[in-house]
Structure 1
Amino acid sequence: MMALILFGLFFLLVMLRLPIAVALAISSIAVLFTGSGVFGLELVADIMYTSVSKFTLLAIPFFILAGVIMEQAGISKRLIDFAQSLVGHKKSGIVFVTVMTAIFFAAISGSGPATVAAIGGILVPAMVKSGYKKETAGALVASSGAIGIIIPPSIAFIVFAVVAGDQLPISIARLFMAGVIPGLMLGVGFILAAMYVRWRQEVKSGPLQGFTPMPRATGKERWKAFTGALWGLLIPVIILGGIYGGFFTPTEAAVIAVFYGLFVGFFVYKELNMKKMFDILVASSIQTAVVMFIVSAASVYAYIITTEQIAMQISDAMLGLSENPIIILLLVNVLLLIAGMFIDAISAYYIFIPILLPIMIMFEVDPTVFGVFMTVNLAIGLFTPPVGLNLYVATGISKTSLGEISRGVIPFVVSSIIILLLITYVPWFSTFLPDLLNIK
């Protein structure tokens, strides 16, 4: 009965379009009002406060702030210019540029919607000018932006490590490195899907109208674009190099990213000023407040799931369906794909990690591999309707309806699911780099 109230009311409120954090809070409080919980309403505030007062979570507001600073500092535009100088002259060059830039900016912001907002304003019009339909352009940017929560530094991986840490210590540094190859694989999958869409469009309607390839950049032009983008390209090197070199923790790396972005914006590119800083601080504060409210509300929800043994009951039910690890992993992926269509990654971690991590441990699945394929599942949720955040950002940029862009995103969803299955059943893709670098 308690599980029915907890999950049923939550999904009902989500379907009614209430904010995820509000739905989590209301469904948790509703369970407490039944009087059968192991703690009372007076402990809700304590749990919410404790959940957001962890040192590791300080990385989230600083990475959000760093991403907003670097977007406003002109780094995204310079990354796009550099990518265009390399492959802009090719037939599908704009597709390569979009995915390459998304990967680079993902290594700066750690956020999917932030990546879409940073690159979409430039690249969606460029794709349309190259003959792609608006819904295809918006769909590619929305899909590519999802790489933002997989390529390190990833806010999602930080939250995963914090939530899973209640059951099993997991290294954020190992998760970061484990996300590199899967993130690149998704990028390749999106490129192939976009090329397939172009091929079908040309078969149906002939050569794309309005496409004028860029002239091949000269060595001098490429060097100029490279030097312009160099300060942006150095960011992931500094952040990840510092973490894996033992110079600072992921949380300290987020602070360094902020100061690096301020230095580049004020003294190198000179595109930041005090007026912009006010807007940057407001934007990053709002984003941080949203994330932390979700974390605090979801922590109460997760606490009920754990203490009332709901997680154990659901785990036993899933194990009762099959003892074949291949089937169990497939069921877990289906569950997470469906959940990702309705809720954000942070909420999903708090809801499902207490349920699924014990199952993964029982089947001897590496927790790092679980963290990666769970995050890839939720990344797919960022560009699938009805609640995909990236889709809503991309619809505004591409000036299309949600229905149009939802149709355009189908090839990218299919390619990402194929990549997801590879990552799930071939752990090597996630463990190769961490094991190579001896990151525990």
Structure 2
Amino acid sequence: MRLSKLFLPVMKETPADAQIVSHRLMLRSGMIRQSAAGIYNWLPLGLKVLRNVERIVREEQDRAGAQEILMPTVQQAELWKQSGRYDAYGPEMLRMMDRHEREMLFGPTHEEQVTDIFRNCVKSYKDLPKNLYQIQWKFRDEIRPRFGVMRGREFLMKDNYSFDLDEEAARRSYNRMFVAYLRTFARLGVRAIPMRADTGPIGGELSHEFIVLAPTGESAVFYDHDFNSLDIPADDTDYDGDLQPIVDNWTSRYAATEEMHEPTANGVPEGHKLITGRGIEVGHIFYFGTKYSEPMNAIVQGADGEKIPVHMGSYGIGVSRLVGAIIEASHDDNGIIWPENVAPWHVGLINLRSNDADCTAACDDLYEKLGRAGVDVLYDDTSERAGAKFAKMDLVGLPWQLMLGPRGLKAGIVELKNRATGEREELTPDAAFAKLAGGKG
């Protein structure tokens, strides 16, 4: 993409109403623009990052055996009345009437909707287990939406739901998602710690939040230092095997939020070295047994002909929220530092003298070669001064910056900068191409 063609409305000044780093940088870099309180337009730069996060989340769900569906954003209130949550959910639920005077709602979550799908389609224990997921926009009418996409009213979420014959099988499904979440967040370039959590309005008896550590996190967290050395499950993890040892290894470590215990020496189990920090919730998983299947009659026929209410779990990842969380965990005073897997482009190619014919020809050549090699490039071909170009590239936060100017070109060199470390090196154009293209050529 040529920067001269890109819709990128960057802001030089920090917006007064942006209270946290991610909100400020998402506005300044032209990723989003507010439409209404807690509701945002996603512009090209922001949408590319959002789609990259979504892609990784989808790949790991597929790998773990979940199957993708898409449910409506608007749901019938009758389903929620069957589960008993319609009146209990609270004012965060946006309720409405259609032209036929039927009560409807804009879904804040989809347990009832997916249970209705299951009960109408699955009748036998032989069809279990099942795990269905979607990536869908949701709406919760927060009293005070704030912090940009971190706590908005409309948000993109991955939510999935497991259906099993009994508690033992349901816990195996829970473990699959636990491990899938560890892998997902690691691929996104953040370290997420699973913490035992309250089940809240979702219900049930087993729940874990996944917390991304960030200095600007919204809540205090307390965790064992061993979390920093635990291995992430490998690419070839056998999801049909016994995952309990992996789950036990992570959950045996001590981790909690400030709401769950007194953060004093007396509250820390013996042998644990406590680290305090800040964290951002980006995922939440639940096992809630027959909480929804019993009142909504989601039953299957067992081997002996008996009617069995299925055991369920639900698993959420805040996809749009993750974009903000990644920025909170990875930035500096100059702007965003994107992990490579979620970066909107891999390389920022900077023409330092766009009115120089030789310099432009060399930049155009590298731009074409990198593109043919499968490298995603943002090419600053504008006539802005060099300092402004550097500042914009630092703000946008691409992993690499490749700079070409007349003086270096005469000497046969270009400059390559690593955005995360700030390290710079001078290379020949061919050597720079080889390093950036890697195995993609």
Larger Rg: 2
Higher helix share: 1
Task: Report 1 or 2 for greater relative contact order, CA contacts < 8 Å, sequence distance ≥ 6.
Answer: 1
1 or 2, which has the higher strand percentage? 2
Q: Check whether TM > 0.5.
A: no
What is the TM-score when the length of structure 1 is the normalising length?
0.25
Q: TM-score, normalised by structure 2?
A: 0.25
